[in-house]
Amino acid sequence: MEIKEAFLGKKVLIAGGLGFIGSNLAKKLAALGARVSILDALIPEHGGSMFHAADLPSPADLTVADARDEAKLIPLLEGRDYLFHLAGQTSHLDSMRDPWTDLEMNCRTSLAILEAVRKVRGGTKVVFASTRQLYGIPRSLPVRESHPVVPVDINGVHKMAAEWYHGIYHKVYGIPAAIVRLTNTYGPRMRIKDARQTFLGDWIRRLLKNEEILVFGEGSQLRDFTYVDDASDALLLAACREEATGQIFNLGGERAISLRDLADLLVELNGRGSYRIVPFPDELKAIDIGDFYADYSLIRSRLGWVPSVDLREGLRKTLEYFRAHGEHYL
Ligand SMILES: NC(=O)c1ccc[n+]([C@@H]2O[C@H](COP(=O)([O-])OP(=O)(O)OC[C@H]3O[C@@H](n4cnc5c(N)ncnc54)[C@H](O)[C@@H]3O)[C@@H](O)[C@H]2O)c1
């Protein structure tokens, strides 16, 4: 079934829907004719913002509450066709500095969501946004879904546990669930205040403020990037396609790029700016995964997903967005 028809009139809940990816997804779903509701706790260290609520047709579609609060979550799940679970903590460094909060935000939130879905028994399909971080240091590139899972930080361990919770609730309770392992996702509405979401957010803020970009390491490290519209399409496909249920899919980018080339590209697109290559801070070096790029051939062959926005175009759109709306993010 085409994405276009699949969501017309469908009742959708997005946990974490005021955040970067969730709010982009909400906008897309509303345009597809879905009846979208959002649950978000607006956690200050995360990427959520009330500025992202502007597209919602009615204030009643937004519940500012924590997904760990069952009394708030259960009524929102009644009669839902789809639940997109985007409520989690992204920062690897924060997970090392404060593992308990990461445990709460990634594990307990996921369990609370799955327990609520189990209790409601409404057949809601759950799509969970996981991360490539759980692979750890790649043993071979590009990284396929069959690559061993050996996380190098607490965030990766907790996301791995969250994936396993989904697997167990699928197998034992028959909850239809699909998992998408995102790589670095970027685009309008990302958090640029700091590097909590990705280092790229930090680079974009520095460019906008005419500050030098700091490239850690030697600049030769490879990464892949997915534009947020492409990531949203993958989540939608994972939701509406029956064959995605019970599966795990990598996302990726149209190419891998070194950090130095990425910095050059950003400076070129911005029309000004500069960068400096500096040694990795110790805290980051200890949890660094080296080169990474994903093999996304599984989602391409099974669901027909391919990244459609190339890095140059995606970065251009991202910079344009933040030039227009930067005051809401800085
Ligand atoms: N951005 C990326 O590059 C990336 C990469 C891999 C995985 N992911 C995962 O995708 C998900 C969404 O990422 P994002 O970049 O949009 O992050 P984000 O921080 O912008 O959005 C997450 C939203 O979830 C909300 N939230 C968190 N815990 C909650 C809870 N218990 N109850 C209610 N709301 C809660 C936050 O307030 C925030 O608005 C996260 O789980 C993240 O780990 C993101």
Distance 42 CA to ligand 1 centre (A): 10
pLDDT tens-place string over residues 97-140: 999 999 999 999 999 999 999 999 999 999 999 999 999 999 99
Residue 64 domain flag = yes
Tokens of 46: 């995360």
- The pair phi, psi for residue 253, each rounded to 5°, is -120, 170
Is it the case that residue 2 has pLDDT exceeding 80?
no
Taking the C-alpha atoms of residue 41 and residue 39, their distance in angstroms, rounded to an integer, is 7
Taking the C-alpha atoms of residue 251 and residue 238, their distance in angstroms, rounded to an integer, is 11
Which atom of ligand 1 is the closest one to the Cα of 191?
20
Which atom of ligand 1 is the closest one to the Cα of 184?
3
Which atom of ligand 1 is the closest one to the Cα of 68?
31
Residue 173 domain flag = yes
Most ligand 1 atoms within 8 A of CB, residue of 14, 46, 73, 181 to mutate: 46
Taking the C-alpha atoms of residue 215 and residue 178, their distance in angstroms, rounded to an integer, is 35
As for ligand 1, residues whose beta carbon falls within 6 Å of it are 15-16, 18-22, 39-43, 46-48, 66-68, 86-88, 90, 105, 109, 129, 131, 182, 184-185, 191, 197-198
% of the chain beyond a pLDDT of 70: 100
> How many domains would you assign to the chain?
1
Beta carbons of 311 and 255 less than 8 angstroms apart = yes
Residue nearest atom 43 of ligand 1, based on CA coordinates: 90
Task: Look at residue 35 and give its three-state secondary structure.
Answer: strand
Residue 267 domain flag = no
DSSP 243: G
Q: Which residues pair with 225 in a beta bridge?
A: 184
Q: Is 141 exposed, middle or buried (0-12, 13-18, 19+ CB in 10 A)?
A: middle
Query: The whole model's pTM is what?
Result: 0.97
**Which residue is associated with the tokens 């251009």?**
316
pLDDT tens-place string over residues 237-254: 999 999 999 999 999 999
| Maximum Cα–Cα distance across the chain | 55
Residue 49 domain flag = yes
Residue 73 domain flag = yes
Alpha helices in 11-108 (DSSP H): 20-31, 70-77, 92-97, 99-102
Distance 254 CA to ligand 1 centre (A): 23
pLDDT tens-place string over residues 279-307: 999 999 999 999 999 999 999 999 999 99
Tokens of 135: 């692979």
Residue 86 domain flag = yes
What's CA 244's distance to the chain center, in Å? 18
CA dist 122 to 62, 86, 93, 279, 305, Å?
Answer: 21, 20, 37, 52, 28
Residue 216 domain flag = no
- The domain of 93 spans 3-190+225-253+293-309
* Residue 9: CATH number of its domain: 3.40.50.720
Instruction: Please name which of 110, 107, 122 lies closest in space to residue 76, comparing C-alpha atoms.
Output: 122
Residue 260 domain flag = no
Which atom of ligand 1 is the closest one to the Cα of 49?
39
Q: Which amino acid is at 173?
A: Y
